[in-house]
Amino acid sequence: GREPQPLIAHYGYDEAFIGPTGGFPSADFWMGTDLNGRDEWSRIVYGARISLSIAIFSQLLALCIGLPMGALAGWRGGKVDFVIMRIVDIMSALPVLLLAFLIMLRMGASYWNVLLALSLTTWIEICRLTRGQFLTLREKEFVEASRSVGARTPRIVFGQILPNALAPIIVSVTLGVPRAIFAEAALSFLG
């Protein structure tokens, strides 16, 4: 029988329709059609797939880099904290877009390289935030109580500190998605 309709975009991004072009929004064409008779909504949805996937996955990869680095720096302190924070300071001194562009020049322009370039330049904020949370939370009474009953480090870190540190980290990752979309658009504009 009948082919199933896509959930969001009802037409192909390049599918042209015969009839009045430059049409106004209607039940069939939610945002109207362009001068070539193509559905505007479908074209926006198809275009947004790439940008949204790069933004979301680059932030998830940045989280996978920044969270362990910040947790290690905040929990261990001392020389480990010093080394990680100097790396973060050096990375913070460089413009994010310029660094991502240089990574892209070296590796070439592709979906995966853009994702990697954005991840390697945006993990810094997550690392700083995680470190700050760990430095604050490791001195709290509930952590001392866990230590006093003999809880080991992994249980304290994953059972006590990390769940309490996640709220601002999740907000930071969420706010990083639109910044990643703008950075991806700037990188595609620059070449």
In a domain, 26, yes or no: no
* Residue 24 confidence (pLDDT): 79
How many helices (H) and strands (E) in the chain? 7, 0
Percent of the chain residues topping a pLDDT of 70: 91
The confidence score (pLDDT) of residue 40 equals 84
Counting beta carbons within 10 angstroms of the beta carbon of residue 51, is it exposed (0 to 12), middle (13 to 18) or buried (19 or more)? middle
Decide if 164 is inside a domain. Answer: yes
Q: Each residue of 46-60: pLDDT tens digit?
A: 888 889 999 999 999
Residue pair 16/36 in contact (Cβ under 8 Å)? The answer is yes
Could you tell me if residue 18 is inside a domain? Answer: no
Total domain count for the chain?
1
In a domain? residue 21: no
Q: Does any domain span residue 137?
A: yes
- Residue 97 CA to residue 155 CA, distance in Å, equals 38
> Can you give the pTM of this predicted structure?
0.81
**Within a domain: residue 93?**
yes
Residue 186 falls inside a structural domain: yes
Residues of the chain with pLDDT below 50 are 1
Contact 141, 160 (CB under 8 A): no
Rounded alpha-carbon distances, angstroms, from residue 131 to 69, 70, 73, 118, 179: 8, 4, 6, 21, 22
Query: Considering the domain boundaries, does residue 140 fall inside one?
Result: yes
Domain at 92, CATH number: 1.10.3720.10
Which range of residues forms the domain containing residue 180?
Answer: 51-190
- Cβ atoms 61, 53 nearer than 8 A: no
Which pLDDT does position 32 carry in this prediction?
81
